[in-house]
Amino acid sequence: MTDTPTEALAPDRLGATLLTLDRVNVWLGPARRVHALKDVSFQVRRGERVALVGANGSGKSTLLRAVHGLLAGQGRTQGDLQRSGSVAMVFQRPHLLRMSLLNNVALGLWLGGRPWPQARTLALQALQRVGLQDVAARNGRALSGGQQQRAALARAWALQPDLWLLDEPTASLDPHAKREVEELIAEFAEGATGTPAPATLLFSSHNLGQVKRLASRVIYLEGGRVLADLPTAEFFSVPVLERHHPEALAFVKGELG
């Protein structure tokens, strides 16, 4: 895979709006004193592949959790956050239960209302999609890190979500496993064989090479604020950042330097 920036899709080729954030603020921590997201506004349309980048603590994971609705009881949110369609989230370190891999994947489908026999059939199809059918009977917690992350992608794929949320999906993996997981994400995003439609992605990553390869658009966060929102090719254009987004340029130079 090359590091050539992914071509942004023309607006007329994009589908309906799946996600809208309008001046969203989130406070976390004791007494909700940490202002983690500050007036965050953007939209994601069907077919987009949007990367969230920024230093640790910039708000990337908080934003993904807020979109998925995981901050209830942990923080306070103000502003307008609207989603349409189904959503699945893949974490940096997936949690697998002490049961077979097949049952780990089937469980989410069963909880979503599928009869257990059907859930197991669909789970096996999902494991085949990510190349894990041969270890379907193994304890999920006995798998390697790369296998567990592919299993997490299988769980998400089985749900056929309208919007995929991925929080640093390859950060804790060795180079070989990173390539395998990234290639699967790329296949889902491109609508490869076995995928009903191109996936719409909102993902965080510190790997700017990965951002170039996967994203059609990049949002740069700093201190909980959106300081740049650009097509991928423009985000990695030094002249563009020099003129309009010096903070993002400093980040890119620091990560690539």
pLDDT tens-digit map of 227-241: 999 999 999 999 999
Q: What is the mean pLDDT of the chain?
A: 91
What pLDDT is attached to residue 67? Answer: 95
Residue 63: how many CB atoms within 10 A of its CB? Answer: 28
**Residue 1 domain-assigned?**
no
Specify whether 213 is located in the same domain as 120.
no
Specify whether 179 is located in the same domain as 209.
yes
**Residue 81 domain-assigned?**
yes
DSSP string over 171-239: TTS-HHHHHHHHHHHHHHHHT-TT-SSPPEEEEE-S-HHHHHHH-SEEEEEETTEEEEEEEHHHHT-HH
What pLDDT is attached to residue 249? Answer: 96
Question: For residue 40, is pLDDT > 70?
Answer: yes
Question: For residue 256, is pLDDT > 90?
Answer: no
What pLDDT is attached to residue 81? Answer: 95
> pTM for this one?
0.91
**Residue 2 domain-assigned?**
no
What pLDDT is attached to residue 1? Answer: 59
Specify whether 79 is located in the same domain as 45.
yes
What pLDDT is attached to residue 109? Answer: 94
Specify whether 250 is located in the same domain as 200.
yes
Question: For residue 75, is pLDDT > 90?
Answer: no
Domain that holds residue 101: 97-142
What is the number of domains present in the chain? 2
Longest dimension (CA), the chain: 58
CATH number for position 249:
3.40.50.300
Specify whether 225 is located in the same domain as 123.
no
Question: What average pLDDT score do residues 25-37 get?
Answer: 91
Write out pLDDT tens, residues 183-237: 999 999 987 655 567 899 999 999 999 999 999 999 999 999 999 999 999 999 9
What pLDDT is attached to residue 196? Answer: 61
Specify whether 165 is located in the same domain as 244.
yes
Specify whether 137 is located in the same domain as 201.
no
Specify whether 57 is located in the same domain as 108.
no
Question: For residue 181, is pLDDT > 60?
Answer: yes
